[in-house]
Amino acid sequence: MDQQNQQHNHDHQPIGYARYILLWFGLIALTGTTVAIAGIHLGKWVIITSLTIASIKSLLVLNVFMHLKFEDRIFRIFVLVALATLIVFIVLTFFDYAFY
């Protein structure tokens, strides 16, 4: 009964304040980096670097803030399926615009 009563997270190591604050510093640093890179006119590379940095930031938010890293594996599988679906949409759309 006690186990049912407890939040599931208690089975795992709960994240402390320090780790979240550290992640926040990392995210702010990445934001600074992406703004700085955009400032040096890399032409078409700006879109690639800024989307790469945005993806890294999102992965950090997903894994730590949204706790994905510490949840059951089924959560990660769900997220991967959802992201894969979106990528299929994007690739199929670009068949009509980019690869003809």
Partner 1 sequence: MISAAENIHIHRDDVGTKIGMWLFLFTELILFGGMFIVYAVYRFKFPAEFQLAAMELDTFIGTVNTIILLTSSLTIALSIVAIQQGRKYLSVLLIFSTILLAILFLVNKYYEWGHKISVGIYPQSEELLKKPQGEIIYFGLYYVMTGLHALHVVIGIVVLMIMGILVARGKIKQDAYVRLEAGGLYWHLVDIIWIFLFPLFYLIT
| C-alpha to C-alpha distance for 78 and 56, rounded to whole angstroms | 19
Reading the block at residue 89, the tokens are: 């949409």
Write out the binding residues for partner 1, residues 58-87 only, by CB under 8 A: 58, 61-62, 64-67, 71-72, 74-75, 78-79, 82-83, 85-86
| C-alpha to C-alpha distance for 5 and 45, rounded to whole angstroms | 52
Q: How many separate helices (H) and strands (E) can be counted in the chain? A: 4, 0
70 SS3 class:
helix
Size of the site for partner 1 (CB under 8 A): 52
- What residues line the site for partner 1 (CB under 8 A)? 1, 4-9, 14-17, 20-21, 23-24, 27-28, 31, 34-35, 38, 44, 46-47, 50-51, 53-54, 57-58, 61-62, 64-67, 71-72, 74-75, 78-79, 82-83, 85-86, 89-90, 93-94, 97-98
